[in-house]
Structure 1
Amino acid sequence: MTKYNVLGMMSGTSLDGLDIALCHIWQEAGAWNFAIRQTHTVPYDKDLLKKLKNAIHLPDKEHEKLHDAYGIWLGEQAKMFIEKHAVTVDFIASHGHTSHHRPEEGVTFQLGNGRLLAKVAKHKVICDFRAKDVALGGQGAPLVPIGDQLLLPEYDFCLNLGGISNISFDTDGKRVAFDIGLANMPLNYLTEKIGLKYDENGQLARKGTLIPRLLAKLNALHYYTLPYPKSTGYEWFSETVVPLLQENGANTADALHTVIHHNCEQIAKVILGQRPKEGSQVLVTGGGALNSFFMDTLQEKLGKACKVHIPPKKFIEYKEALVFAFMAVLREIGEINVLASVTGAQRSSCSGVIFMP
């Protein structure tokens, strides 16, 4: 039995900060096991937050400079974490931060130069987990389902509520997964307008009332009619959803309340469409799991068909960092870590680029 100590590093579309988790991962009797040990989230300062948020609009040379600078910054954060906790790390798994994701054009890009990250952190780095799948005609997303399937087999559905909502589950003997649509991205957009980073525990949303017109427009978005596999991101949100929120003109509480109802209706539509057995388990992770109004509304929409399961906070916050650590382990041992049944690629692949210090 080999146990790997991997430093997983994840930055998601919600731009909450850099999640770092030291993960112990091992295989025993044919089953994968894990433990999340030390963790830390590094918030982005205003300057870096602005750069990452606007990266999609940068000219090529400026984008390349940010790629390098962010790689160095990631290396510094990894080095500080390792030294502070005095831990042994076999390698670092870095997701980077997605600046461009247009798989239909063969484009995906994760900021954070792995070569510079490895050099600064003085550790082996495995990164860039999406590009190979996109080159194989896949969506390059979502990638977390390999972790859902092999690390969390006891759950019928694994739902993640980050900036975007995505889900994975088994059907007809294979794993499928896709981005359902919206989650925290529109919620954070609305709260930022009134000077709040987010709506803590959904308190504001709970006080609001439904705006039928906005709900109807959100539910009518074309993306929801597309078959899976499919994925989306910030481009879709900024081009399609933001104009609807801007034209709405309602108070923030009502808008938040309506968006959560919209999110939950779309999620429930997907889950109930699978005709689950009564009492099926839905594991919810990501920041949305910490929003009690979001969770109450989701359980209401699912009814008795499914039970929403909310794991410990550490797992919620660091699941994606754990899964990228796991993907790096699979890359290290040469096993498949990206599923074609999920991404729509020509074939499943063992993805990730390795950089030595």
Structure 2
Amino acid sequence: MDTSNIYHIIGLMSGTSGDGLDMAHCRFVYEQKWSFSIIEATTVPFPENLGKKLNQAHQLSGEELCLLDREFGTWMGEKIKEFCKSYQLRPDAVASHGHTVFHQPQKRLTTQIGCGWSLMQTCGLPVINDFRTLDVLLGGQGAPLAPVGDHYLFEAYDFCLNLGGIANISMISKGQRKAFDTSPFNLLLNHFAAKKGLPYDDKGKLAKKGKVIPELLEQLNSLPYYENIGAKSLGRENIENSFLPLLENRNAEVEDTLATLVRHYAEQISKVVLEHSIKSPSKLLITGGGAYNHFFIEVLSEKLGDKAIAIVPDREIVDFKEALIFAFLGVLKLRKEANSLASVTGASRNSCGGTLYLPDLTA
């Protein structure tokens, strides 16, 4: 076997939910098509102070944000060193998503912090980060990027749905890979669970106790974002400016708000699946933290009926699919192959995004 077609990469994912850093040491092999295995994986919770700063990063001054960028990169580098030492890992490189602070593609702006230089200098390994900027500068949304991994690593599924802070879906439509953010997800669910002193709504138990508010549901379904067709993505800004005021002004019981959100998400996601399904039943892969929201899975399954089967895979894939895929995007960067698809993001062309930081071999 040609060893140049074997790659060992650590993928890092810090999602918009802001709960911790996912690290996955992955092995990829190319033999006419790609195969993968997750060798070791773990989630490291953010220290309280760092987690607080990351969640408030969009409100920091320019100087404070620059300092946090360095701090977060250094912290990730330290965690990688510990991870590699614990499991005796020798990866070829580290591929980091970073932590999204701003995402306004209409202004050609997307910002993920976690300084590549600091990360590389601390862990001593080649680092690839900043995967979104090139696509945004080419007129794309810079998101979602996971569909490249869906296309090559999860081709057995008709749809791939990831339920993180924001929900996104990927599919083949008219011969091309298409994907977009379907709705918010844990960002809002966690926000309202926090009003009950909880970090999240465990298994959707709170939402299950609540009653859907019909008027609020209609208002959510009528938000301008859902009128957009084609490549589209949601940022924290959209959620704070459009979704949160609508929900907060209602001043409803937390359980009822959560129940309404779950129904809203299920309606938006099932609508996409049913519109794009070309066989029955289609297979819908569900990953991300929201896959553990049993109540949501129940409501979604009811909406899908016999047209699609909602599949929640092994915990390793549920928890670490995004870290796995960013590791794969790193592989494609090293191979100088496209890791962002114009058919997904709306950019003027496919591109090979990411910035590569190499350790100073002269030191």
Q: Does TM, normalized by the shorter one, top 0.5?
A: yes
TM-score, reference length from structure 2: 0.96
SS for the counterpart of 1:231 is coil
1:225-264 map, 5 Å? 225-264=227-266
TM-score, reference length from structure 1: 0.98
Residue 17 of structure 1 aligns with which residue? 20
Residue 4 of structure 1 aligns with which residue? 7
Q: 1:44 and 1:256 mapped to 2: Cα distance?
A: 26
Q: 2:105 and 2:61 mapped to 1: Cα distance?
A: 20
* Larger deviation, residues 1-10 vs 74-83: 1-10
Which one of 222, 232, 239 corresponds to residue 220 of structure 1? 222
Q: 2:202 and 2:306 mapped to 1: Cα distance?
A: 27
Percent identity, please: 46
8 Å CA contact 1:22, 1:39 repeated in 2 = yes
Residue 268 of structure 1 aligns with which residue? 270
Q: 1:252 and 1:49 mapped to 2: Cα distance?
A: 24
Alignment size in residue pairs: 356
Q: Aligned letter for 2:42?
A: H
Residue 126 of structure 2 aligns with which residue? 124
Q: 1:55 and 1:199 mapped to 2: Cα distance?
A: 24
Offset of 1:252 from its aligned partner?
Answer: 1.4
8 Å CA contact 1:276, 1:305 repeated in 2 = no
1:309-328 map, 5 Å? 309-328=311-330
Q: 1:58 and 1:199 mapped to 2: Cα distance?
A: 28
Offset of 1:276 from its aligned partner?
Answer: 3.2
8 Å CA contact 1:155, 1:282 repeated in 2 = yes
8 Å CA contact 1:8, 1:92 repeated in 2 = yes
Offset of 1:275 from its aligned partner?
Answer: 4.2
CA offsets per residue over residues 9-41 of structure 1, 9 Å max, x none? 00011112100011111112x110011121111
Residue 210 of structure 1 aligns with which residue? 212
Q: Aligned letter for 2:12?
A: M
CA offsets per residue over residues 327-355 of structure 1, 9 Å max, x none? 00011011111101001111101111100
* Larger deviation, residues 85-94 vs 53-62: 53-62
RMSD: 1.0
SS for the counterpart of 2:35 is strand
Offset of 1:46 from its aligned partner?
Answer: 2.3
Question: Which 5+ residue runs of structure 1 have no aligned equivalent?
Answer: none
Runs of 4+ in 1 over 6 A off after TM superposition: none
8 Å CA contact 1:163, 1:185 repeated in 2 = yes
1:1-357 map, 5 Å? 1=2, 2-28=5-31, 30-357=32-359
SS for the counterpart of 2:306 is helix
Q: 1:58 and 1:102 mapped to 2: Cα distance?
A: 17
* Larger deviation, residues 41-50 vs 15-24: 41-50
Q: 1:326 and 1:136 mapped to 2: Cα distance?
A: 22
Offset of 1:57 from its aligned partner?
Answer: 1.8
